[in-house]
Amino acid sequence: MADADRRAIERELHGGLQQYLVALATTLQLARRAADSEPPGVGVLLDDMERDVRRALEETALLAQRIYPAALELGALAALLRSVAVQAGVPAMVDVPAGSSYAPEVAMTLYLCWLSALASATSDDQVTIRVREAGDTLTFELAADALGPDLEPLRDRVEALGGSFELESGLLVGSLPLGR
């Protein structure tokens, strides 16, 4: 796992998931104290804990899905890219060959580039991804008004796979070997 990916995961863990787990730990401490002095109040605390556990589980499932979406294994890259654009609330155009299936590291790299592009966009931006195959090479373009240095950490990932990465104002052009 690349350092940039690890840092992104750590940020996620220190966000919503950690918040729910801290709330759960605090509520557990209060429940322990209340069990000795106010048994009727314990029910309310246990309800709060149950809610926090459910939220933590939902956040964990979402985080796992973002780290490695199951759709990547199913060869449903185009559908996954469209889905995360809808979730991000950003107008997007996804142009990926139908039924395309790529090696996991190639699909994951495209997915992470797309997530970064969506994260830097606003609801007023149009974000576009175009993927093409030519021989043993996959080329991709990401375009959006707000594209910028946020995608630079992905350069190492693309280049580690033997690909190229050119980022200019509003446009990322990259390539990855298909290695078939």
Q: Are 17 and 56 contacting, i.e. CB atoms less than 8 angstroms apart?
A: yes
| Predicted pLDDT at 116 | 85
H or E stretch at 48: helix 39-67
| Predicted pLDDT at 177 | 94
Q: Which amino acid is at 78?
A: A
Q: Are 136 and 102 contacting, i.e. CB atoms less than 8 angstroms apart?
A: no
| Predicted pLDDT at 163 | 95
Regarding beta strands 127-134 and 92-95, do their DSSP bridges make them parallel or antiparallel, or are they unpaired? parallel
Torsion angle of the four alpha carbons 141, 147, 153, 155, in this order, in degrees rounded to the nearest 10:
30
| Predicted pLDDT at 173 | 93
Interacting residues of 27 by C-beta distance below 8 A, sequence separation 6+: 45, 48, 49, 52
| Predicted pLDDT at 154 | 87
H or E stretch at 61: helix 39-67
- With tokens 């605390």, the residue in question is 45
Ordered by start, the domain boundaries in the chain are 3-67, 74-177
Residue 45: C-alpha distances to residues 57, 58, 59, 83 (Å): 18, 20, 21, 37
Q: Is pLDDT at 1 greater than 50 in this prediction?
A: no
Closest listed residue to residue 175, CA positions, set 99, 167, 165, 123: 165
Q: Is pLDDT at 113 greater than 80 in this prediction?
A: yes
Question: Per residue in 20-55, pLDDT tens?
Answer: 777 877 887 787 777 767 676 777 777 787 788 777
Closest listed residue to residue 77, CA positions, set 95, 64, 63: 95
| Predicted pLDDT at 69 | 62
Question: Per residue in 129-167, pLDDT tens?
Answer: 999 998 899 999 998 887 777 778 888 889 999 999 998
For the chain, first and last CA: distance in Å? 22
Question: Per residue in 50-69, pLDDT tens?
Answer: 788 777 766 765 665 565 56
Question: Per residue in 57-104, pLDDT tens?
Answer: 667 656 655 655 655 655 577 888 888 888 888 888 999 887 777 888
Average pLDDT for residues 164-179, to the nearest whole number?
89
Indicate the CATH number of 74-177 among 3.30.565.10, 3.50.50.60, 3.40.710.10, 3.40.50.150: 3.30.565.10
